[in-house]
Amino acid sequence: MSYENAWLAYQKKPPTADAAYFSSLYVEGDHRVIATAREELLRAAREMFGKDMILCENREEATISFIWDRMAKTGEEGYHVREDNGKITITSEGPKGILYGCFACIRWVKMEKPFAGMDLLEKPSNPIRILNHWDNMDGSIERGYSGKSFFFRDEKVLVNERTRAYARMIASVGINASVINNVNVKGNATRLIDPVYQEELVQMAEIFADYGIRLYFSLNFAAPMELGGLSTADPQDEQVQSWWQEKMKDVFRRIPNLGGFLVKADSEGRPGPFTYGRTHADGANMLARAVEPYGGIIIWRCFVYNCQQDWRDKKTDRARSGYDNFMPLDGTFLDNVILQIKNGPMDFQVREPVSPLLGGLTKTNQMLEVQIAQEYTGQQRHVCYLIPMFREVLEHRTYCSNEQDTVADIISGRTFHQTNCGMAAVANTGDDENWTGHDLAAANLYGFGRLSFDTDLSSEAIAKEWIACTFGTDPEVMEKIEAILMMSWPAYEKYTSPLGIGWMVNPGFHYGPNVDGYEYDRWGTYHRADHLGIGVDRTSHGTGYAQQYREPLSSQYESLEKCPEELLLFFHHVSYTYRLKTGKTLIQHIYDTHFEGAEDVEKMAELWDSLEGKIPEKSFERVQNRFAHQMDHSKEWRDQINSYFYRKSFLEDEKHRTIY
Ligand code: GCV
């Protein structure tokens, strides 16, 4: 299927003074990634300015120079771009820094920023900036909303032009690693570490390497049994250990650009060390030892919980499970193990508290996992710009130290002086022409890359960059799309589940309202609404989850009055007549926000409509169609939620609007 170039589509620019910079290029340093940077710059000059840049032998003659200087003090992936006297120099300690500096210049052109006097020194906040694709070998994508996989089809590995287009797209925003297969590793996906797919995987790894991207696979913990014919996958078993050692020796020899592996173990039916009475540290360390000789990393997910719960059991709390399982193991993981922790304790809901494991752990490498695949946030049929949510998570103070204690500090390695850490996102891509289904969802892919590279960037700044690079710099276009993006997450939150309670979706596919959809199910995701009130008591009188936080957070969450209101129902069971800080009752708040949220969608759709003629037609229509659906669907959400709570509580809406 054909594809567009998203934010890397270059339109011909009218002749400006800046075009003169794109006349000639001098390259100092021989490396495949620098060669990629050179090709990218030449391409941009050709497509934007209609110019063929001359390659110069000496620096003095060139208008742009790439200087790979090991003394540059930028770090391997940082860069320094300077304009001086009509010339631009991109300097870095490493080839990747040159590539990122080159894309920064292209961005500069697209944003129409003047080069004169430019002096930009950037160093990535996070060492690892990784995408997790949940792509299956048959071509389907778990929680994929943008078509089929472009990595796999019919049990085969795909490598084609799109592979390169993907690599350049993600490298352009600073992503340096990618896990290409689903964490639920089944069937042929287990064989990705076998020679059978070697040819295609090496080709893919080579393309990735050109763009400074390390290839990762998700691993099946039971592979020694499924592939090796052993009777056990017990991490303490010597045969199992040597099976993994041999396997890793082989796979790292065959695929040189391999970064390591992602593992989902003992979670939602996946095999893991618990089967053998072993801990997650036993499991992760066994694999870490096997990949260590090759510089490999094991990224071990903390999404471990009991998914066979009974709704009557009010003590078992899914929110507690990550902390309960992993805190006792703090300090026991090897240095090439990273624990990957979802941003919240449940599962990527529109609002959750930050996981207490982040900052709970102090002696273990940590990676933050967010989800840009909009599983619970509108499945890329609703617009939902998630960067503001991720910013809140990054800014969250954990109190794990006197200073530098935010999530951003921890995952960057600043707090605990770690180098194996960073930020991961469950990817939102597929083989749709526009990559992300909803054209505006590309802002989340772009935004994840930019934010993980620079956690100080604001959501607005990222939105502006993405809009300018995608749709151009017309002020009306910039302003209106930014307004849409910035309204979108709050709007989604308003018309779906209230005040941090989450869920209320149709089971299985997780789309559309169904208040009791999961209420009596085994997944541990309850809202506990009755005729008097709603919410889960997670204080010390309830499940005790609030106590997993450090002070002052635990006291704050424990207290009904001090608990941040947006999380009220996550931590407390509250009566419908409880008065919020606005003076409104809880029930009135539910009614009001649901009406408001649906109205916000109409406003966003109107803003989009008013851009007709200013946005490429195809894109304009695609988004317009999605807004038509979002308007209907947000009303369905509004009515289902409002009617449910009206019928439960018998309390009238003060404003007497239609509630069924
Ligand atoms: C890949 C949720 C999703 C699953 C996903 C799982 C995970 O439960 O619904 O599809 O599995 O999270 O993160 O492993």
CB-ligand 1 contact for 183 (6 Å cutoff): yes
From atom 11 of ligand 1, which residue's Cα is the shortest distance away?
A: 184
Quick one: pLDDT at residue 635?
98
Ligand 1 atom with minimal separation from the 264 CA: 14
3-state SS class at 166: helix
Which of 134, 562, 538 has the alpha carbon at shortest distance from 344? 538
Exposed/middle/buried for 8, CB within 10 Å: 0-12, 13-18, 19+?
buried
Query: Residue 78, exposed/middle/buried by CB under 10 A (0-12, 13-18, 19+)?
Result: buried
With a 6 Å cutoff on the Cβ, whether 518 touches ligand 1 is no
Determine the pLDDT at residue 256.
87
Ligand 1 mutation pick, 135, 179, 341, 347, max ligand atoms within 8 A of CB: 347
- Closest atom of ligand 1 to CA, residue 184: 1
Quick one: what percent of the chain has pLDDT higher than 70?
A: 100
Ligand 1 atom 8: residue of nearest CA: 347
CB-ligand 1 contact for 348 (6 Å cutoff):
no
Q: Which residues are bridge partners to 27 per DSSP?
A: 66
Listed residue (253, 53, 295, 260) closest to 177, CA to CA = 260
Query: Which residue from 392, 389, 394 is spatially nearest to 378, judged by alpha carbons?
Result: 389
What's the pLDDT at 14?
Answer: 82
- For residue 335, the 8-state DSSP code is T
Q: How confident is the model at residue 368 (pLDDT cuts 50, 70, 90)?
A: very high
Contacts of 214 (CB under 8 A, 6+ apart): 176, 177, 178, 208, 257, 258, 259, 260
Provide the pLDDT confidence category of residue 427 given band limits of 50, 70 and 90.
very high
Q: Report the nearest atom of ligand 1 relative to the CA of 371.
A: 13
Q: What residue has token string 């697209």?
A: 110
Crossing angle for the helix pair 161-171 and 442-453, to the nearest 10 degrees: 50
Please report which confidence band the pLDDT of residue 18 belongs to, taking 50, 70 and 90 as the band edges. Answer: confident
Atom of ligand 1 nearest to the CA of 267: 14
User: Mean pLDDT throughout 421-427?
Assistant: 98
For 372-404, how does the pLDDT look when each residue is reduced to its tens digit (9 = 90+)? Answer: 999 999 999 999 999 999 999 999 999 999 999
Residue identified by tokens 């998700």 is 218
Q: Where are the alpha helices (DSSP H) in 211-294?
A: 223-226, 238-254, 280-291
Residues annotated catalytic, as ranges = 268, 347, 375
Q: Which two tokens stand for residue 378?
A: 């509108």
The pLDDT value recorded for residue 620 is 98
**Cα distance between residue 607 and residue 338, in whole Å:** 43
Residues in contact with 589: Cβ distance below 8 Å, sequence separation at least 6, in sequence order = 498, 499, 580, 582
Asked if pLDDT for residue 1 goes beyond 80, the answer is no
Nearest CA to ligand 1 atom 12: 347
Q: How confident is the model at residue 16 (pLDDT cuts 50, 70, 90)?
A: confident
> Is residue 562 within 8 Å of 555, Cβ to Cβ?
yes
% of the chain exceeding 90 in pLDDT: 98
State pLDDT tens for residues 222-271. 999 999 999 999 999 999 999 999 999 999 999 989 999 999 999 999 99
- Residues shown for the chain: 660
Residue 633 is predicted with a pLDDT of 98
Atom nearest to 182 CA in ligand 1: 1
Instruction: Kindly state the average pLDDT of the residues 569-580.
Output: 98
Amino acid at 268: E
Q: How far is Cα 497 from Cα 638, in angstroms, rounded to an integer?
A: 10
User: Residue 374: phi, psi to the nearest 5?
Assistant: -85, 55
| Helix, strand, coil content of the chain in percent (nearest 5) | 40, 15, 45
pLDDT above 90: residue 15? no
* Residue 331 to residues 267, 321, 406, 458, Cα–Cα distance (Å): 22, 18, 20, 34
List C-alpha distances in Å: 105 to 39, 52, 115, 168: 14, 17, 9, 15
Nearest CA to ligand 1 atom 13: 303
Is residue 131 within 8 Å of 119, Cβ to Cβ? no
142 pocket-lining for ligand 1 (C-beta < 6 Å): yes
Assess contact for 168 and 435: CB atoms under 8 A: no
Provide the pLDDT confidence category of residue 100 given band limits of 50, 70 and 90: very high
CA distance 621 to 641: 30
Ligand 1 pocket test target in 185, 268, 505 with most atoms within 8 Å of CB: 268
Q: Whose CA is nearest to atom 2 of ligand 1?
A: 347
Binding site membership of 134 for ligand 1 (Cβ less than 6 Å): yes
What is the rounded CA–CA span in Å between residue 406 and residue 455? 11
Number of H helices, E strands in the chain: 17, 18
Q: Report the chain's terminal Cα–Cα distance, integer Å.
A: 45
Q: Which residues of 169-208 are buried (b: 16+ CB within 10 A; e: fewer)?
A: bbbbbbbbbbbbbbbbbeebbbbbbeeebbebbbebbbbb
Among the residue ranges 14-23, 240-249, 361-370, the one predicted with the least confidence is 14-23
User: What distance in angstroms lies between residue 114's CA and the mean position of ligand 1's atoms?
Assistant: 45
pLDDT band at 651 (very low <50, low <70, confident <90, very high): very high
Cα-based distances in Å from 474 to 6, 12, 104, 106, 355: 17, 15, 20, 18, 40
The answer to whether residue 156 scores a pLDDT higher than 90 is yes
Q: Which amino acid is at 398?
A: T
- Cβ of 347 below 6 Å from ligand 1: yes
Q: What is the pTM of this model?
A: 0.98
